[in-house]
Amino acid sequence: MADSGSSFQRQQPAAFGRLHTFHGGLQLPGHCEVTAATPIAAAGIPPLLILPLQQHIGEPAECQVKQGDYVYKGQVIATAPGPVSVPVHASSSGTVIAVEKRPVPHPSGLQANCVIIETDGRDCYQQPDHTTIDYRHTEPASSCELIQQAGIVGLGGAGFPTSMKLCNRSQPIELLLINAVECEPYISCDNRLLQERAAEVVEGVKILLHVVQPDACIIAIEDHMPQAEQALRTALDAVDASGITVTRIPDIYPSGGERQLIRILTGREVPSQGFPADIGIICQNVGTAAAVYNAIVRQQPLLSRIVTVTGDGVAQPQNMDTLLGTPVSHLIATAGGYTKDVERLLIGGPMMGYTAHTDSMPVIKTTNCVLAVSREEMPAPPPAQPCIRCAKCTDVCPAELLPQQLYWYTRSNNYDAAQDYDLFDCIECGCCAYVCPSHIPLVQYYRHAKTEIWTQEVQKKASDNARNRHESKQRRLARIKQERAERMARKKRALSSDGGGEDAKKAAIQAALDRVKRKQEQASTTPKNTDNLTVAQQQLIDAADKRRQQHPGSKTTD
Amino acid sequence: MEFKTYSSPHLPVSNSVAVMMQRVLLALLPGSICVFWIFGWGIVFNILLASITALTAEAAILKLRNRPAFTTLLDGSALVTAVLLALALPPLTPWWIPVIGSLFAIVIAKQLYGGLGYNPFNPAMAGYVVLLISFPLELTLWSAPGAQLNFLDTLTLVFTGNLPVGQSLDAITLATPMDSIKTRLGLSETLSEIHDSPLLGHFAGAGWEWINLWFLLGGLWLLQTKVIQWQIPAGMLGGLAAIAFVFYVINPDVYTTPLFQLFSGAAMLGAFFIATDPVSASTTPRGRIYYGVGIGLLIYVIRTWGGYPDGIAFAVLLMNMAAPTIDHYTRPRVFGHDDQG
């Protein structure tokens, strides 16, 4: 694959000139030669479409149809309740036969609410209301709204609502990164998409450029996809695509991971618990770019995606353009059915994908690969042996964790220590478990521990809430009691004096005595008959006083 | 259709403990053959006795602990312990020495702590140190390079202690170069005086330099096949060479050259095969360097000023004790974090 490189000049903007590396990672066998060389086939319209209300990260969409409703292709059947959500559209026309819980693609084999549509095969399209407007003459925000209405989420696997990524950001974006790095073995849907529909991808990227207005734009592609790179460059040459650079990076798993890819291209690290936008970067998958093109230019919501159907358990491995909601069983049947010895069915790649216990579950927006394999291709894992602390896991961990320590702590349910060793920085890429000579299912331990910690946190939150409620009730009761007591005390004080202290008491007593005395005085003086005397009376009194002075011992008045 | 469920990742496993141990044994082969070439049949008996004892003891203990004995024995770790211990023992030592040593290594140092993966000390070195302290005389029975006994005579000597008629133990055994240098330095001779001794070869002990060279070769192959990582051997050899260089520069009459240190005794065996025992070593990338350097420095200290001619075993056991602490203080910076831990 290295020979293909010579014909292309690597052109990069000055700001992001040199490629960097990340710690660890693996060189894995590709397993995608056949599917990458086979044209994308249409998976057709299945008899039943199963459309989960949640095919993305965030709030589930709210169902707007009921049993018996006729729905057109492209009709909104569930609306987004908030910004971190997207609507769900009917991917073909037909009748809603049920809204019920069905198995959905999820690592834990959960059931979730789905709209089940019995298709009528007419694929009858209901054109959206809004008329075609050239996006270049509109505000970026309006394109964002269209992208959300089209139900677009990251098609690379995470399924984060694209409009949220594009428009909800606090700082200007320096770099728009388009991720065409399919680092997991077997998967080739992005590779094939670029080979066949590079022009759509380029148009989509231009729309994203218009929305984001970054300083630079890089489309990252891996060494093992030279045909895709050539198609992409041809498409870029055909249009005015100044400012878009194509950069080829080495085949190292997991370089397609958002954080790892940003590290490779810019040397920067997305902060732990942070987002790329925090360091001025937005990363979008090529499939998402094509979906954006469909939404803005063709005004088609996200109704289908390309799925790699592969593995030695499938008769004709190939990429398939698949309506969302198509059951995996239909997809496999279209690809020639199972070979007889299939044992394991994987949704996603062999490193991060999860096994499905049934093939009745549907393809959703994030399903990039369906992998059916036999026991020969992927034998059951050998029994786990004790950890010998060889630290091979440490050497390959792209998050630079100490997986052997995390294993030790998660195994002993010491979740505090596991969190102290940054368990939540684990991206579950599976490198550690792949190289482990003791065959310990490390990722399983980490995933279990994370779930346990989340559960504990939810429980803790619930108990915190209960405690807070109880405590605030106690506080309220105490406050009422205290207020009552204060009122009583105020009254008492008002009744007695504004007391406090011995002197004050004495003063109060004195004041009381004085009051009494004054009262007595008043009582004794006010009705005195010696006031308002006439001159004659005064003279009589004076005469009497004189007499008294002359005869001491007789009673005097004072 | 229903399918089996597994946890990711799903690609077939690429590695196993058994394969790693087999590679370690394979990498020990050139050095072991060299030991055989120079010291004769004794090493073969040591390896056989130690291996049989180790495997039997491991099986018995696993049986007692209700663990699957057969599959566990297949991981090869007991065999590696036995071979490493046997390679550390002198070739003419009586049969019960390797037996007691590997019994202690497997039963006490390994299984009583919980078996593979749980032993805090390197089992082979724990066994060796027990022998060294308990039976110092038996651990000096190194045959003189070249003056070898044949297969039957060695067999008789190892199992009965009887020598063929006309032979004396003094005639067929010889102090190791490091032992002899230590003794003669103790007699106030200078290294330049000792230099002419037939015990010395081109740049280190006669014969020993070849043994070390072949163990180095095996070790490099282990590095190349990624069974071991570079940090511990590089740290240990670097630490040993650095401190040897400093003292050699200070006084070349009393202190041997760094090259002599690196190619004497069990230096290469220790650097690539003993110190790299993952279970008892430090596991963080930086920690492994410190761990290796610590062993290298301690080896020099014990060799130069200690009571024993070589110090690999003590150095490794001492650093085993320090490994958890080293790990604690050398946690790597996690991706996306600003600072340590």
Rounded to a whole number, what is the distance in Å from the CA of B8 to chain A's nearest CA?
6
CB contact under 8 A, A391 and B284: yes
Q: What is the pLDDT of residue A495?
A: 78
Report d(CA A422, CA A400) in Å as an integer: 10
Q: What is the mean pLDDT of residues A293-322?
A: 92
Least confident of A162-166, A364-368, A405-409, B68-72: B68-72
Closest CA to A372 of A330, A333, A314, A327: A314
Q: What is the pLDDT of residue A129?
A: 59
Q: What is the mean pLDDT of residues A482-490?
A: 91
Q: What is the pLDDT of residue B52?
A: 96
Confidence band, pLDDT 50/70/90 cuts, at residue A543: confident
Rounded to a whole number, what is the distance in Å from the CA of B334 to chain A's nearest CA?
5
Q: What is the mean pLDDT of residues B289-313?
A: 92
Q: What is the mean pLDDT of residues B16-24?
A: 93
Confidence band, pLDDT 50/70/90 cuts, at residue A502: low
A67-116 confidence digits (pLDDT tens): 999 999 999 999 998 888 999 999 999 999 999 999 998 887 788 999 99
Whether the per-residue pLDDT at B295 is higher than 80: the answer is yes
Whether the per-residue pLDDT at A442 is higher than 70: the answer is yes
Q: In Å, how far are A114, A332, A421, A535, B70 from A90, measured between CA atoms?
A: 11, 22, 45, 121, 58
The SS3 call for residue A176 is strand
User: What ipTM goes with this model?
Assistant: 0.89
Whether A385 has its CB under 8 Å from any CB of chain B: the answer is yes
Whether A7 has its CB under 8 Å from any CB of chain B: the answer is no
Report d(CA A236, CA A232) in Å as an integer: 6
Confidence band, pLDDT 50/70/90 cuts, at residue A198: very high
Per the listing, tokens 């390079």 go with B145
Are A162 and A288 a contacting pair, CB within 8 Å? yes
Confidence band, pLDDT 50/70/90 cuts, at residue B169: confident
B221-279 confidence digits (pLDDT tens): 999 999 999 999 999 999 999 999 999 999 888 898 899 999 988 999 999 999 999 99
Q: What is the pLDDT of residue A7?
A: 35
**Across the interface, which of B6, B17, B335 has its CB nearest the CB of A385?**
B17
Whether the per-residue pLDDT at A5 is higher than 50: the answer is no
Confidence band, pLDDT 50/70/90 cuts, at residue A501: low
Q: Which domains does chain A have, with CATH numbers?
A: 1-19+139-301 (3.40.50.11540), 390-522 (no CATH)
Q: What is the pLDDT of residue A308?
A: 95
Tokens representing residue B192 in the block:
């330049």
**Strand partners of residue A179:** A220, A285
**Strand partners of residue A153:** A161
Report d(CA A193, CA A200) in Å as an integer: 9
Q: What is the mean pLDDT of residues A181-185?
A: 89
The per-residue pLDDT of chain B, averaged, comes to 89
CB contact under 8 A, B3 and A398: no
> Please, what sign has the CA dihedral across residues A261, A266, A267, A271?
negative
Q: What is the mean pLDDT of residues A248-259?
A: 92
The SS3 call for residue A149 is helix
Q: What is the pLDDT of residue B339?
A: 66
Task: Among B4, B5, B6, B11, pick the best mutation site for testing chain A contact (most A Cβ within 10 A).
Answer: B11
Q: What is the mean pLDDT of residues B141-157?
A: 79
B208-234 confidence digits (pLDDT tens): 899 999 999 999 999 999 999 999 999
Rounded to a whole number, what is the distance in Å from the CA of A352 to chain B's nearest CA?
6
Q: Which residues of A touch B15 (CB under 8 A)?
A: 392, 435-437
Whether the per-residue pLDDT at B146 is higher than 70: the answer is no
Q: What is the pLDDT of residue A127?
A: 65
Least confident of A157-161, A448-452, B178-182: B178-182
The per-residue pLDDT of chain A, averaged, comes to 87
Confidence band, pLDDT 50/70/90 cuts, at residue A525: low
**Which DSSP string do the residues of B244-303 spell out, in sequence order?**
HHHHHHH-TTTS--HHHHHTSTTHHHIIIIITT-TTTS--SHHHHHHHHHHHHHHHHHHH
Q: What is the pLDDT of residue A531?
A: 62
Sheet architecture: strand order including A41-42: A41-42, A318-323, A304-310, A369-374, A342-347, A354-355
Burial level of A416, CB count in 10 A (0-12/13-18/19+)?
exposed
Least confident of A154-168, A333-347, B19-33, B232-246: A154-168
Pick the more confident residue, A226 or B162. A226
**Across the interface, which of B8, B17, B281 has its CB nearest the CB of A437?**
B17
Name the packing angle between helices B77-88 and B17-39 (round to 10°). Answer: 20
Task: Among A260, A269, A375, A389, pick the best mutation site for testing chain B contact (most B Cβ within 10 A).
Answer: A389
Per the listing, tokens 């650095």 go with B242
Which residues of B lie closer than 8 Å to A, measured between beta carbons? 1-17, 19-20, 71, 75, 77, 115-118, 226, 229, 278-279, 281, 283-285, 288, 327, 331-338, 341
Percentage, residues of chain A above pLDDT 70 = 92
Task: Among A359, A402, A422, pick the best mutation site for testing chain B contact (most B Cβ within 10 A).
Answer: A402
Whether the per-residue pLDDT at A483 is higher than 70: the answer is yes
Report d(CA A119, CA A93) in Å as an integer: 6
